[in-house]
Amino acid sequence: GEELTKVCPRTLEICGLQGSCTLIQGAGQKSYNVINQFKGVDHFVELDVEECPFGLGVRSICLDPFYTVAADLKFYRPGDVIFIPALVGHELINGKTHSGFFIVRDQGRGIIGKGRFDFFSGFYSWRDPKNPFARIKLPDSKTKLQYYKVTGDSAKLVLSQRSFPGLPTI
């Protein structure tokens, strides 16, 4: 019930849609995450950016840019590993290439149904031409890519490499 900051209605809408946002305030910045919704109004919590700089997904799981997907939790569980062969080798912002593996760390309000995912790209908007996911049209709902749910030892290896539920050290 405590007021954290004041923003315009458009910023509030964007922060709610994305689930987390970073706001520049004076000489610094603060990050916020939707913690719940009450009577149609989003309630936020200030993030500890040392622990989870990109925001929190379901069950307070840290979001991992370019490796997190939001999914419909009626069909997927947090920690499920998804493999998309078409993304193997795509160059990321840091110059590394993508493995094609993603981890369900979040749910999206508009992500309904099996095989529907929202790809998290950190501070890079889907409109940003530097965003590698935008270059291959992942934000476009008409883009159809083959995907697989990974299980067993292969899934455990991916979870370990991405330090699920935390973040890999850089």
Residues 114, 98: Cα–Cα separation, whole Å: 23
Residue 170 is predicted with a pLDDT of 63
Beta strand spans in 47-159 (E): 68-71, 81-83, 101-106, 117-120, 148-150
Residues 96, 93: Cα–Cα separation, whole Å: 7
Residue 169 is predicted with a pLDDT of 80
Task: State the DSSP H helix or E strand holding residue 156, giving kind and residue range, or none if neither.
Answer: helix 152-161
Residue 30 is predicted with a pLDDT of 86
Instruction: Give the pLDDT of the chain (170 residues) as one tens digit per residue.
Output: 788 888 989 988 888 887 888 888 788 888 888 888 888 888 898 988 888 888 889 998 999 999 999 999 999 999 999 999 999 999 999 999 999 999 999 997 788 999 999 999 888 888 888 888 888 888 788 889 999 999 999 999 999 999 999 898 86
Residue 102 is predicted with a pLDDT of 97
Residue 148 is predicted with a pLDDT of 97
Q: What is the pLDDT of residues 21-66, one digit of tens each?
A: 888 878 888 888 888 888 888 889 898 888 888 888 999 899 999 9
Task: State the DSSP H helix or E strand holding residue 135, giving kind and residue range, or none if neither.
Answer: helix 132-135
